[in-house]
Structure 1
Amino acid sequence: MSNICASILSLKPYQGGKPISELQRELGLDKVVKLASNENPLPVGEKVQQAIMQATSEIGRYPDGNGFELKQAIAQHLSIAVEQITLGNGSNDVLELITRATVCCASDEVIFSQYAFVVYPLVTQALGATSMITPAKNFGHDLEAMLAAITDNTKLIFIANPNNPTGTLLADSTIYDFLSSVPSTVIVVLDQAYAEYLNARDNAIEWLKEFDNLVITRTFSKAYGLAGLRVGYSLSSSEIADYLNRIRQPFNVNHIAQSAAVAALADTDFLQKAISLNQQGLRQLAAGFDELGLSYIPSFANFIAIKVSDASVVYQQLLEKGFIVRPVEMENYLRVSVGTKNENEVFLNTLKSIL
């Protein structure tokens, strides 16, 4: 159609991990194990279940458009001002809001790494801006190359830490030095979707006091186990948060999702259980890949990228056996999410039989 923006015509829509029900329909399988979307394999905790049940009595009403209770809970949890928080329908929603707020024309440039979250190029292209892709360094971000790529037209930089789909991690000192070198007119997004799995001191929050151009994005979809409810948020200066809230949809986080997220923040036992399960799962998968003689990228998230002889063939063979993993834009690599101990074991045995 001639009236559609040129940047949209060549845009390929985001493809999530294949749903379990879809594979069951396609192949007539009863048992399917999904290790494709970096989801938390644990069922949600009792506190969240109770919050969801209570919230269903009010679904006939619009949700709180300002997310008062959830913002209060996040602010208390992270010791940050409510005015610095922007809520989103998953962190993807927030990433798009940030991009919409910063790029305005085709000459505006957005910098991100060669192997980084697929949403970065998608939102950049959708808004008609220019993608500046810097080569990866050891499968992760090369911050020196990203600094060198900055021009007068640079509006936005995306950094995922830990990175998806490679699982690599940048040291806090390295990121801090990078932030200190970026012009204050350029917005830097630090995407921390997997931050909880690090189970370490959260230094990035403190950087917000020093860098007005820093935006941190997070999600309840991973360690908190609320992927199906879509809740994410950003932390930034109150000025940036104000701009983001001007353009976000008024009810972008539904009532049940807000209630569940508040309960999830309070359920520290569930979070620690999820972190522990993930640490054990990473070791289990790594040991299995070592036994199979497969190379992989050591991960700090809840997945591991492994290299096989022919990723497309192995991916299809795994599907036929009832295992969903994720092909990625890296030659002959597959990304495998951490499952339960049993899911990991059965997957490794199946992979062994295929190889």
Structure 2
Amino acid sequence: MKWKEQILSLNPYQPGKTIGEVKRQYGLDEIVKLASNENPFGCSVRVGDAVQQLAGTSALYPDGYATGLREALAAHLGVNEEQLIFGNGSDELIMMISRGLLVPGTNTVMAAPTFPQYKHNAVIEGSEAREVPLLDGAHDLEGMLQAIDANTRVVWLCSPNNPTGEYIGETELLAFLSRVPADVLVVLDEAYHEYVVAEDYYDAIELANRFENLIVLRTFSKIYGLAGFRVGYGIGNKQTIRALEPVREPFNVNSYGLAAARAALSDQEFVQKCSTANREGLQQFYDFCNENHLAYYPSQGNFILIDFGADGQEIFQYLLERGYIVRSGKALGFPSCVRITIGSKEQNAGVIKQLKQMLETRSTVSGQNG
């Protein structure tokens, strides 16, 4: 087999440990998973009803145009239906953009660390991935502008950024977009958009209407609680969407996902409740960090990256053995950190209790050694 040379050096995506796996490995009865930025409150009750109505239709192909969801989402966002494109999660949209624009001899610009699928897909397409280091957890927009040249095809912005939770302010973003060449596509990945409460956050829809080279990515996997259904979408001008459509696989979003997303979209009260609970949960972790003099990044997402000044993998393992699955910062580019998804009030209190015990033990050992 003569595989593309560049993919031979890539590792497949490594999913986090499952609840069942941890239960079996450590003999635990209860596991709390706070590793994948899923919604701890599940999804709207309307989703179950919508999915049940599809009983007996499994032999039929999905609506390839996503008509019902497209109409509802266009009305919700205030955009034209032709400005929308749907994917099997926003991951597929990232792959579609990369496939449509990146070839050997081109390059694509992104922050580092950020969502790894930007680079992953660039490598597959044989394109150069130009990574610009974060500044205090935030995008170095000036540095990214300097990295753009005549061969640049795509610039990726993740706001709020995963894994730091930092966002790009409106003034900064406007200044950046006005300086990006018109033939370079800017992808604004807003997977955590609904969690943002920052007063100077931009209106991405307004920007997508103003800048023809901007496409906005969002998902139903986070605050809507539909990670298992895999539905993401892009918002851009009609020409950009039309150019991407031939790259999209036919029937790429399944019938259950389409129905679930439409039902979830109709329940904005649930979305608001989750957003409010998330801010309260973040405050629990802020208080913990401040009390224990731990550095962290203020987050506009549903997760927090905390620097423990120790091996993040060891902290991950400590919590794992006590029934809490978090994400080690080692694989995220922050080796002394862990990223913790914001859970329910009780889940947050539980993992914080374990972390306090860990810090107390570490302090006692340090004192004895001293």
Structure 1's consecutive aligned runs of 4 or more residues displaced over 6 angstroms after TM superposition are none
Equivalent in the alignment of 2:364: none
The counterpart of 1:140, out of the listed 135, 138, 159, is 138
CA contact (8 A) 2:209 2:236 kept: no
Equivalent in the alignment of 1:127: 125
- Please tell me the residue identity of whatever aligns with 1:116: T
Q: Distance in 2 between matches of 1:37 and 1:56?
A: 30
Q: Distance in 1 between matches of 2:202 and 2:57?
A: 35
Equivalent in the alignment of 1:204: 204
Equivalent in the alignment of 1:234: 234
Equivalent in the alignment of 2:4: 5
Question: Could you tell which deviates more after superposition, 139-148 or 119-128?
Answer: 119-128
Question: Could you tell which deviates more after superposition, 174-183 or 14-23?
Answer: 14-23
- Please tell me the residue identity of whatever aligns with 1:123: N
The counterpart of 1:330, out of the listed 314, 330, 334, is 334
Shift of 1:25: 2.5
Shift of 1:57: 3.2
Equivalent in the alignment of 2:70: 71
Q: Distance in 2 between matches of 1:232 and 1:186?
A: 22
What is the RMSD of the two structures over their aligned residues, measured on CA atoms?
A: 1.3
- 2:357 paired with 1:353: yes
- 2:295 paired with 1:295: yes
Shift of 1:202: 5.8
Equivalent in the alignment of 1:256: 256
Q: Distance in 2 between matches of 1:27 and 1:60?
A: 41
Q: Distance in 1 between matches of 2:24 and 2:257?
A: 29
Shift of 1:50: 0.8
Equivalent in the alignment of 2:107: 109
CA contact (8 A) 2:44 2:224 kept: no
CA contact (8 A) 1:163 1:169 kept: yes
CA contact (8 A) 1:14 1:122 kept: no
Shift of 1:198: 1.5
TM-score (norm 2): 0.93
- Please tell me the residue identity of whatever aligns with 1:265: L
Equivalent in the alignment of 2:272: 272
Q: Distance in 1 between matches of 2:284 and 2:152?
A: 42
Equivalent in the alignment of 2:174: 176
- 2:9 paired with 1:14: no
Change (3 A) 1:144 1:202: closer
Shift of 1:27: 2.0
Unaligned runs of 5+ in 1: none
Q: Distance in 1 between matches of 2:183 and 2:110?
A: 17
The count of residues paired between Structure 1 and Structure 2 equals 353
CA contact (8 A) 1:23 1:29 kept: yes
CA contact (8 A) 1:160 1:191 kept: yes
Shift of 1:160: 0.5
CA contact (8 A) 1:302 1:338 kept: yes
Shift of 1:109: 0.3
- Please tell me the residue identity of whatever aligns with 1:127: E
- 2:156 paired with 1:155: no
Equivalent in the alignment of 1:341: 345
TM-score (norm 1): 0.97
Q: Distance in 2 between matches of 1:126 and 1:56?
A: 39
- The DSSP-based 3-state class of the residue aligned with 1:61 is coil
Question: Could you tell which deviates more after superposition, 229-238 or 20-29?
Answer: 20-29
Change (3 A) 1:202 1:220: farther
Q: Deviations over 1:296-327 (max 9, x none)?
A: 11111100000121211111111111111112
Shift of 1:330: 1.2
Of all paired residues, the percent bearing the same amino acid is 41
Q: Distance in 2 between matches of 1:115 and 1:352?
A: 28
Q: Distance in 2 between matches of 1:125 and 1:217?
A: 21
- Please tell me the residue identity of whatever aligns with 1:350: Q
Q: Distance in 2 between matches of 1:149 and 1:124?
A: 16
- The DSSP-based 3-state class of the residue aligned with 1:228 is coil
- Please tell me the residue identity of whatever aligns with 2:299: S
CA contact (8 A) 2:169 2:202 kept: no
- The DSSP-based 3-state class of the residue aligned with 1:164 is coil
